[in-house]
Amino acid sequence: MALDDTLWFTENPTADGSTLSLKVTGKLHEEQTNFQKIEVYGTEGFGNLMVIDGYIMLTARDNYLYHEMMAHPVLFTHPNPKRVLIIGGGDCGTLREVLRHPDLERVQQVDIDAGVTRAAEKFFPELCESNNDARAELHFTDGIKWVKDAAPGSYDVIIVDSTDPVGPAIGLFSEPFFRDCHRALGEDGIIVQQSESPLLNMQILTDMHQAMRDAGYADVQTLHFPQPVYPSGWWTCTMAAKHAFKGFRIEDSVCKSFPTRYYSAEVHQGALALPPFMKEAFEKIRD
């Protein structure tokens, strides 16, 4: 990461040598927690920007793309979600989207670093507007251990809103973690996890599909969507279910009682249509 004399923030480069720069107006916050370095900048075109260990986590301008796609597809795919666990998600944007669903009874969010949430409360308050919802519980501890200790069948949906598979998040991409999630999910349970860029990280995606199937999930689906400030601008989330997917609750999605900026039933359906190179890679795993 670098902030040069002309006030451009430049992210750490990816393995293929690409990077992203945003013109900033200044640094608003810097903190080294026990787990990571958190920085917040003001930018000219993208609102406030949160950076963790040199990598862009979110901006005020485009975070809704990611947060809506992490929350709504999986919740409209489960037949009747009531109990949700979010692992990670410390900025609380996914939590806000999840809590838009009025029939949910309990949402537990478990993030290892309270510093992310405190920074979000100050610099991204719009993402934290549902933190005091009576159905929400915020816990700051190890999400991997939380799932391992969870009683069988505790949750209908588990959302893994993690950083890249490095540092504290690396265990969230492993077969043992997916197996613990499988046990913690109820009969119709579904897990969804952010799964990186299909253009730059296809190996991570195929490894996730394999690990999820090896952990006992009957079906795995990847959805893709734009995310301008993440490497390549093209991102995915991957769902795995205890039983074969039978589509999603299209009528409920169309008639939802809350507004969204990106997600819709049509977007949901389109996100499931994979380009040939992704489809072929996943078919090899199923075979």
Hey, which residues are catalytic here? 161
End-to-end CA distance of the chain: 42
231-247 burial by CB neighbour count: b if 16+ within 10 A, else e? bbebbbbbbbbbeeeee
Return the structure tokens found at 210.
Answer: 């394999």
Residues in the chain: 287
Three-state secondary structure of the chain: CEECCCCEEECCCCCCCCCCEEEEEEEEEEEECCCCEEEEEEECCCCEEEEECCEEEEECCCHHHHHHHHHHHHHHHCCCCCEEEEEECCCCHHHHHHCCCCCCCEEEEECCCHHHHHHHHHHCHHHHCCCCCCCEEEECCCHHHHHHHCCCCCEEEEEEECCCCCHHHHHHHCHHHHHHHHHHEEEEEEEEEECCCCCCCHHHHHHHHHHHHHCCCCEEEEEEEECCCCHHHEEEEEEEECCCCCCCCHHHHHCCCCCCCCCCHHHHHHHCCCCHHHHHHHHHHHC
